[in-house]
């Protein structure tokens, strides 16, 4: 008896990340597997659990609580936005579970990793909206026991890697712009921006002119936000675009930026660092470049010396 197979028709692709079919389904080629939270991680002793922040739209988070010295101990809080080009990865993935276990353990910090909606199922600006909603929920929550019993809201940090760092930057502008404020008068103590994803229609610093239109960042942005006003010069991806909010209003007193020497986004991180310094922003910004390393190396290979040094620097920032 002859067998028949049905081949789904491709609608659009973002090689090598994912493919969208005409029936609306999405096939992702990259990203680590989902793992459950742990009552106690055997390597770090960190406990984790999942919570729902919003049912509609669905926004959730994974919380990481390090071993406590006493049951009344208060810890700095880090609200973390994962990377993945706005279309990959998860707060519940193996890579981020492992990475944030280490961060929580070394920093003695309560980490809240946000599970925001991904493109292409939810085009931007959905991720920004989810990130902002989650930040407001966390600072207003009176029902989440780990936050209430162990979170020190006087040491309240935000951050992320790549697209997650971009989302954190957006939140800083909203907090500092004079219109939006976090509940309960919570102030952001600092921001951690690792390999931040920014781009523009024109190359900067040492970025090559040839091939700029076909750059990975350009292709990603067009895919995840096809209707972006201004395209690649939308202020969400180009913080120095005409009409973009001034970096002078960034809503925290200190920012730590990491770039990697072999990362395509390396010059963008340096460019952003220089722009913050020149903006008139009244805070401390530090740039750390890790020579010879690739994009997000500390997440993929946390066991290396460079990764350990980077994570130790992050831990010392979260005080």
Positive or negative: CA dihedral 97, 105, 67, 184: negative
Distance CA 124, CA 69 (A): 42
Instruction: Tell me if residue 295 is catalytic.
Output: yes
Instruction: Tell me if residue 263 is catalytic.
Output: yes
Distance CA 302, CA 32 (A): 15
Of 5, 34, 6, 8, which is closest to residue 19 (Cα–Cα)? 8
What is the DSSP track for 264-302?
TTHHHHHHHHHHHHHTT--SEEEEEEETT--TTHHHH-T
C-alpha of 36 from chain center: 20
How many residues belong to the chain?
319
- In eight-state DSSP terms, residue 151 is E
84 backbone dihedrals φ, ψ, rounded to 5°: 130, 30
- Active site residue: 82, 130, 162, 169, which one? 162
Rounded to whole angstroms, what are the CA distances from 270 to 19, 60, 101, 243?
Answer: 32, 32, 28, 21
Instruction: Tell me if residue 82 is catalytic.
Output: no
Residues acting as catalytic residues: 162, 263, 295
């Amino acid at each position: 008896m002859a067998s028949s197979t049905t081949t789904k028709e491709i609608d659009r692709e973002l090689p090598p990340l994912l493919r969208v079919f005409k029936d609306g389904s999405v096939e992702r080629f990259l990203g680590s597997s989902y793992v459950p939270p742990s009552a106690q991680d055997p390597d770090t002793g960190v406990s984790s659990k999942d919570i729902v922040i919003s049912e509609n739209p669905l926004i959730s988070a994974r919380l990481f609580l390090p071993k406590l010295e006493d049951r009344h101990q208060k810890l700095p809080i880090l609200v973390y936005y994962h990377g993945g080009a706005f279309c990959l990865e998860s707060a519940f993935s193996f890579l981020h579970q492992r990475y944030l276990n280490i961060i929580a353990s070394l920093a003695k910090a309560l980490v809240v990793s946000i599970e925001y909606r991904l493109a292409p199922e939810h085009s931007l600006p959905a991720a920004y909206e989810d990130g902002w909603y989650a930040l407001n929920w966390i600072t207003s929550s009176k029902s989440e026991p780990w936050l209430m019993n162990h979170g020190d809201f006087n040491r309240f940090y935000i951050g992320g890697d790549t697209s997650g760092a971009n989302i954190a930057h957006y939140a800083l502008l909203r907090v500092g712009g004079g219109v939006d404020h976090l509940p309960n008068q919570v102030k952001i103590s600092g921001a951690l921006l690792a390999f931040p994803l920014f781009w523009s229609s024109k190359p900067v610093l040492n970025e090559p002119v040839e091939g700029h239109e076909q750059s990975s960042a350009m292709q990603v942005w067009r895919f995840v936000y096809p209707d972006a006003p201004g395209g690649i010069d939308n202020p969400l991806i180009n913080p120095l675009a005409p009409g973009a909010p001034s970096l002078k209003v960034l809503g925290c007193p200190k920012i730590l930026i990491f770039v990697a020497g072999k990362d395509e986004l390396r010059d963008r991180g340096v460019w952003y660092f220089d722009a913050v310094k020149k903006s008139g922003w009244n805070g401390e910004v530090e740039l750390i470049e890790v020579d010879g390393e690739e994009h997000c190396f500390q997440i993929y290979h946390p066991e290396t010396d460079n990764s350990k040094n980077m994570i130790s620097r992050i831990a010392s920032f979260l005080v």
